[in-house]
Structures are given as structure tokens and as C-alpha cells.
């Protein structure tokens, strides 16, 4: 009998029904962070970069070595450590762990191969170095950061990025360093990356609630005045480049553990998405018809933000919505534009909500643009908060805000948001749509969408070519130069006399490049589907990667899953999706190669990836 059982097991092993080397399921990333110093925004960065398998926790006196060892990589937000915490983290790395830290406590300087200089540099520049390794595929130009960076000398670490005291003046000190320590590895950002990303995207918190640009009305753009943004860097998407350096660090450390899958920024194989919105102020129903027909005939969709619901019939609104257009409100708080307050803005939102519900049966607004982009910069108690407006919107169930726009005409600081036309770029340092961070460091469940192609900026200059070229430049850089961007176009209906010709050129250009033009709501729905999806049970046995994709939120297009194509001396040879062999595409993104597979959101999927040794001829 024993002989028969042994023979059966032997046959099963030969045919691969069972394996004596099953993949080991371990957690991938642990983030040790609190709201302090915007540590929680680390999770938003990871989600944006597609690393949807991580655990958020805080480091305490109860954080044990065994707990840390349950993760492939630990990311430590900026925090002051106790002697016990320093010892625990040091031992974790020494015994084979992988640690990434943002502006780490100087008690860990030996772990990172650094030597303290006891000085800091504030809100300056850094530059990524090296054509290979973690710097591969990333810009060599200097990039702004905000906040403080600690100054160190290298003491055994490898320099990944360097600090600059100005855009062109090198300090000789590291901005990012990598070190082998014991059996493990440690990577230090000498500045606080999440804090810098928040400030770069959202502006200067010290300018909250203050008139700064000399243009009537408080707007999000006031937060970028007085040199806070270096407009010569706008085409680089400099905040995004720094997030991708973190991605490269995670992938470098995963070489010692297991390959880590991630989701792509856009659906399917797209390198860009366009959204179109229309501030429907001061226009009657019949005045909208031509623009809606023109947009629809180009295979595009549009969001209409209605300021005066009484001007448009319910039947017309219903027809437009059935044709795939989004209808939302255009709150008008311009009567107190010079000094908007929380209470009044909140009541303005309530009023437009009630009117939309009464006249159109629209139960809630999901995306928003305020008339004049009016931006509240103080909390309900009057304390300054550069994200107060986003908090009001979260309270009203808004999911995506379009109030940051490229508009600086008439400013006493000239075009402080940067160049117009082909080289306009993104003054927020980012082409990606991410959630707001509150002033206290918590996450606001509202996405920040930059209106980066704004008709009025160009209409006031009578520059139709510039309006189109701003769009073309963003799209070309996104498709061809890896400056990936969501392009949000605003085309007022009452300025359609100006915008029609360049807008039709934009829609034709997008279609020629197979880039869809969506409503803001459609883009929000994709972001929600991507953000909700997760990886689970990631296992690796040395040549086979297995994981589950959990997804409950449906969307009409696919999520793109990126699997490292090369892993040490192996490369992907075969992918099974739900037990069936599936096609994959090898793509190169920012210097890294991935096997890309497409999965339908709203369903769970089982993925198995086989690797084999790279054949060198």
C-alpha cells in the first residue's frame, strides 16, 4: 500500500499537480506613519503608484522585531524614535530587512551609511544621479522639494540623489542614499517626501486664506505665489519624478524578497486621459446645444457645471445625461470672493444641491468647480488651512475637485504659474490625480484635478493657437516623453466663440492618438475602481509568482496590472489569469520593464506568473 501511495505522489509531482515548493505568502509593504508631518500621505503615494498591497500602522513601544519581519519592506515616515524603536529597526535591517525612511531620525544615521553634519537646507532642489540603478529612466534635471532636508556626509552609503542649494548649485550632500547594512538594506530620503509632495501639489500652507497674486478673489492659485513654484520645471512633473524614485527604491529592495505587482496610472494601455468640463454660467438652454453636439460628434463627453439651474429644462438635462454627459453644480460664492468663509461656502453648496435635486432629480454632486475658483482657506473656527475648501467638499460628498486651474492673467507677479502654450506644463508638479491632504496631515477623500488647459487664460490673450498648443504639449510629453498627465480641458459655453476651433482640434488630436475624452465623473469612477482594487496572498517560490486581485468597483475599461518582467536573472515566460493562459505585453516604463496584463474591475482574479532564467546568446 505504501508503495502505491508513494508512486501516486511521485506522478503528481511530475505533472505539476502538487509542488514540494509552494509559494510563500508574506506581506509586502508596511508603512509606519501617523498624520504628523503628512506621514499618512505615504499611502496615497503608494496607491497612486499602484502598490495597492500595504499595511498602514504606527510605530510604538509595542512594535516588535517579529512583526517587522512579517513584511518584505518597511517604510518609515518622519518621526522621532525612542531608543527601543531605533534598536528594533536596526536589528530588523541587520537581520535581512529592508527599510525606506523619509527624513529619518538621526539615531539611524549609521544604518543608512550617513554622517550627520547638524545642519539643514530648506525648500530647495535635488537631482537624481546615475543612468543605471534606481535613477534609470528618470530626469537628470534639478527638481524642487519643499520642507527641510537634513545635511549629511556619505559614510558608506551610495548616493542616489544630490541636494542643491539652488536649481544649479550642488551642495555635495545626498538627498537620497542607499546602504547595505548587515544582511539588509536601507534607503533614506534626507527630506520628507510625502510632505514635499503635498506642498508641491497643493501650494504654500502659509498663504492659506490670504490674497497673494493681486487678482480679485481667493483661489487655489494664490498658494503658488512669490516663487513657491519654479515655473521652469513645469514640464517635468517634478513631484511625480520623485514618487517614481520611491517606486524604483521599492522595486530595487524587492529583488531580495519577491516581485511586487502594481497597477498602472491609466486604464488599459493608455498613456494619457483627457477630461473636458464646461462652466455653464450665464447661458440659456439653447446656447448650449451647439457645443454639446460638436463634442458628441467627435466621440467625446463633457461635464457641465450648472450655475443657474433655472435656465435649463429638466428634459434637456435628462437627455444630456442619457447621452453620457455629466451634470453637476457650479457653486457661486463670488459675493465674498475676497474673503470666503467656511459657513457661507457650505451654505452655497447646500443651496445648489437642493436646486439640482428639486429641478433635475440629481441627488448629489460628485465633481465640482466653483465660480471664479473661489477657495476657502480657513476652517470653520477661522484657523488657516490650505485644504479647507476640500474639507467642505468632502462633507458634501464631492469626490473630485477641479478648482486648481492655470490662470494668472492680471497678476502683479506676471505669469507666476509659468509659460503659456506648448511648454505650459503642470505648475502643481504633477500630471497625476491624487487626493488632498488636510492641513493636519489627514487624508481628505476628494481628488485634486488640475484644470491645466483653461480657455479663459488664452481667450483674454486672443490666443487660440496657444490654447491648443498647451493641450498638444501636455499630450505629446505624456505619450512620448513619459511625463504622464491627465489633461483637464475647460471650455466655457459663453466663451465658445473663442474656444470652438481650438477645442475641435484638441478632440481630433486626442482621437488621432487613441486617447479618450471623458467627463470628470468618468475619470473619478476609474480612480475609485483603481484605488479600491487590491493585491492579496502574494506568494513566491523562486520561479513562480502567485497573487489575487480583489476588485469590487466596476468600470467600463480594464485595470492594467504591471508585473516586473525581469527579476534578478529571471524573466517572465508565462502568465495564467484565472487558470487560463493569457497574453501579456512587455512594456518599458521609466527605465523598468513590466509584463502588462489587463483585468476587468469589479471581479476577483487569480494570477500566476512563471519565470525562467534569462538566456544570453
Asked whether 492 and 278 are in contact (CB, 8 A), the reply is yes
Residues of the chain with CATH 2.60.40.1730: 541-613
pLDDT number for residue 616: 61
Residues of the chain with CATH 3.40.50.880: 27-262
pLDDT number for residue 81: 97
Beta strands in 113-260 (DSSP E): 114-122, 125-128, 143-144, 148-154, 158-164, 170-181, 184-189
Main-chain phi, psi angles of 489, to 5 degrees: -105, 130
- Spatial separation of the C-alpha atoms in residues 191 and 101, rounded to whole Å: 9
pLDDT number for residue 26: 61
- Whether residue 2 is predicted with pLDDT greater than 60 in this model: the reply is no
Residue 15 — pLDDT band, cuts 50, 70, 90?
very low
pLDDT number for residue 443: 98
DSSP class of residue 614 equals P
- Spatial separation of the C-alpha atoms in residues 423 and 426, rounded to whole Å: 9
pLDDT number for residue 617: 55
| Helix residue spans in 162-230 (DSSP H) | 193-202
The pLDDT tens digits for 563-613 are 999 999 999 999 999 999 999 999 999 999 999 999 999 999 999 999 999
CA pseudo-torsion sign 597, 602, 603, 606: positive
The architecture in CATH of the region 541-613 reads Sandwich (2.60)
Supply the pTM of this predicted model.
0.95
In this structure, what C-alpha cell is assigned to residue 544? 513562480
Beta strands in 559-603 (DSSP E): 559-564, 566-567, 570-577, 580-581, 585-589, 592-599
CA distances from 29 to 51, 160, 304, 315 (A): 9, 21, 41, 51
pLDDT number for residue 161: 98
pLDDT number for residue 614: 78
Burial class (CB in 10 A: 0-12, 13-18, 19+), 55: middle
- Whether residue 524 is predicted with pLDDT greater than 90 in this model: the reply is yes
- Whether residue 424 is predicted with pLDDT greater than 60 in this model: the reply is yes
- Whether residue 344 is predicted with pLDDT greater than 70 in this model: the reply is yes
CA pseudo-torsion sign 171, 177, 181, 186: positive
CA distances from 26 to 32, 204, 547, 571, 610 (A): 17, 40, 11, 21, 18
pLDDT number for residue 290: 96
Q: Which residue has the higher pLDDT, 15 or 296?
A: 296
The pLDDT tens digits for 80-124 are 999 999 999 999 999 999 999 999 999 999 999 999 998 999 999
The three-state DSSP-derived secondary structure of 291-354 is HHHHHHHCCCCCEEEECCHHHCCHHHHHHHHHCCCEEEECCCCHHHCCCCCHHHHHHHHHHHHH
pLDDT number for residue 17: 33
Q: Exposure string (b/e) for 292-320, b if CB count within 10 Å is 16 or more?
A: bebbeebebbbbbbbbebebbeeebbeeb
- Spatial separation of the C-alpha atoms in residues 275 and 68, rounded to whole Å: 42
- Whether residue 1 is predicted with pLDDT greater than 50 in this model: the reply is no
DSSP class of residue 366 equals -
Residues of the chain with CATH 3.20.20.370: 272-528
Fold (topology level) of 27-262: Rossmann fold (3.40.50)
Q: What is the CATH number of domain 272-528?
A: 3.20.20.370
pLDDT number for residue 25: 52
Task: Name 169's Cβ contacts closer than 8 Å, sequence gap at least 6.
Answer: none
The pLDDT tens digits for 234-254 are 999 999 999 999 999 999 999
Q: Which residue has the higher pLDDT, 12 or 396?
A: 396
pLDDT number for residue 5: 36
Percent of the chain residues topping a pLDDT of 90 = 94
In this structure, what C-alpha cell is assigned to residue 527? 480612480
Beta strands in 22-169 (DSSP E): 24-25, 27-32, 54-57, 71-76, 98-102, 114-122, 125-128, 143-144, 148-154, 158-164
The pLDDT tens digits for 192-228 are 999 999 999 999 999 999 999 999 999 999 999 999 9
- Whether residue 134 is predicted with pLDDT greater than 80 in this model: the reply is yes
Residue 27 — pLDDT band, cuts 50, 70, 90?
confident
The pLDDT tens digits for 428-462 are 999 999 999 999 999 999 999 999 999 999 999 99
Percent of the chain residues topping a pLDDT of 70 = 95
pLDDT number for residue 11: 34
**Residue labelled with grid coordinates 474591475:** 601
Amino acid at each position: 500500500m505504501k508503495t502505491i501511495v508513494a508512486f501516486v505522489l511521485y506522478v503528481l509531482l511530475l505533472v505539476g499537480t502538487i509542488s514540494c515548493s509552494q509559494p510563500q505568502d508574506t506581506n509586502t509593504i508596511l508603512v509606519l506613519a501617523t498624520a504628523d508631518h503628512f506621514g499618512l500621505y505615504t499611502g496615497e503615494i503608494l496607491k497612486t503608484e499602484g502598490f495597492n498591497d500595504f499595511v498602514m500602522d504606527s510605530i510604538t513601544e509595542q512594535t516588535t522585531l517579529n512583526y517587522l519581519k512579517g513584511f518584505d519592506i518597511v517604510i518609515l515616515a518622519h518621526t522621532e524614535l525612542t531608543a527601543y524603536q531605533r534598536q528594533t529597526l536596526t536589528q530588523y535591517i541587520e537581520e535581512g530587512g529592508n527599510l525606506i525612511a523619509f527624513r529619518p531620525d538621526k539615531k539611524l544615521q549609521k544604518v543608512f551609511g550617513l554622517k550627520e553634519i547638524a545642519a539643514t537646507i530648506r525648500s530647495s532642489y535635488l537631482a537624481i544621479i546615475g543612468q543605471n540603478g534606481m535613477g534609470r529612466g528618470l530626469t537628470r534635471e534639478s527638481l524642487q522639494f519643499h520642507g527641510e532636508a537634513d545635511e549629511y556626509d556619505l559614510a558608506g552609503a551610495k548616493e542616489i540623489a544630490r541636494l542643491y542649494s539652488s536649481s544649479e548649485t550642488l551642495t555635495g550632500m545626498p538627498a537620497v542614499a542607499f546602504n547595505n547594512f548587515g544582511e539588509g538594506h536601507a534607503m533614506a530620503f534626507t527630506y520628507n517626501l510625502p510632505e514635499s509632495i503635498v506642498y508641491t501639489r497643493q501650494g504654500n500652507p502659509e498663504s492659506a486664506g490670504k490674497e497673494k497674486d493681486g487678482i480679485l478673489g481667493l483661489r487655489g492659485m494664490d498658494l503658488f505665489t512669490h516663487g513657491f513654484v519654479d515655473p521652469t520645471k513645469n514640464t517635468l512633473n517634478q513631484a511625480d519624478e520623485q514618487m517614481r524614485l520611491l517606486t524604483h527604491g521599492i522595486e530595487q529592495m524587492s529583488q531580495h524578497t519577491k516581485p511586487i505587482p502594481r497597477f498602472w496610472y491609466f486604464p488599459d494601455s493608455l498613456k494619457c486621459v483627457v477630461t473636458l468640463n464646461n462652466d455653464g454660467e450665464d447661458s440659456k438652454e439653447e446656447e448650449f446645444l451647439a457645443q454639446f453636439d460638436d463634442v458628441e460628434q467627435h466621440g467625446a463627453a463633457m461635464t457641465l457645471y450648472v450655475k443657474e439651474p433655472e435656465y435649463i429644462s429638466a428634459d434637456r438635462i435628462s437627455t444630456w445625461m442619457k447621452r453620457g454627459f455629466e451634470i453637476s453644480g457650479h457653486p457661486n460664492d463670488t459675493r465674498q470672493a475676497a474673503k470666503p468663509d467656511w459657513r457661507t461656502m457650505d451654505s452655497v453648496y447646500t443651496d445648489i444641491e437642493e436646486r439640482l435635486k428639486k429641478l433635475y432629480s440629481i441627488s448629489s454632486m460628485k465633481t465640482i468647480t466653483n465660480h471664479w475658483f473661489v477657495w476657502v482657506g480657513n476652517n470653520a473656527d477661522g484657523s488657516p488651512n490650505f485644504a479647507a475648501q476640500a474639507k467642505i467638499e468632502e462633507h458634501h460628498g464631492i469626490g473630485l475637485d477641479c478648482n486648481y486651474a492655470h490662470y494668472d492673467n492680471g497678476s502683479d507677479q506676471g505669469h507666476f504659474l509659468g509659460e503659456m502654450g506648448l511648454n505650459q506644463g503642470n505648475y502643481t508638479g504633477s500630471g497625476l490625480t491624487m487626493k488632498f491632504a488636510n492641513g493636519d496631515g489627514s487624508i481628505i477623500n476628494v481628488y485634486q484635478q488640475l484644470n491645466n488647459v483653461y480657455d479663459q487664460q488664452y481667450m483674454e490673450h486672443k490666443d487660440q493657437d496657444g490654447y491648443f498648443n498647451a493641450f498638444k504639449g501636455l499630450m505629446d510629453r505624456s505619450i512620448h516623453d513619459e511625463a504622464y498627465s491627465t489633461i483637464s480641458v475647460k471650455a466655457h459655453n459663453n466663451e465658445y466663440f473663442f474656444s470652438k476651433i481650438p477645442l475641435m482640434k484638441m478632440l481630433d488630436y486626442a482621437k488621432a492618438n487613441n486617447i479618450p475624452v471623458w467627463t470628470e465623473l468618468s475619470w473619478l469612477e476609474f480612480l475609485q475602481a483603481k484605488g479600491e482594487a487590491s493585491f492579496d496572498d502574494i506568494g513566491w517560490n523562486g520561479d513562480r509568482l502567485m497573487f489575487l486581485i480583489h476588485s469590487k468597483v466596476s468600470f467600463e475599461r480594464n485595470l492594467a496590472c504591471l508585473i516586473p518582467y525581469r527579476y534578478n536573472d529571471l524573466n517572465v515566460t508565462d502568465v495564467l489569469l484565472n487558470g487560463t493562459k493569457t497574453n501579456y505585453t512587455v512594456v518599458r516604463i521609466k527605465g523598468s520593464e513590466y509584463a502588462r496584463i489587463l483585468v476587468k474591475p469589479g471581479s476577483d482574479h487569480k494570477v500566476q506568473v512563471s519565470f525562467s532564467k534569462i538566456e544570453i546568446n
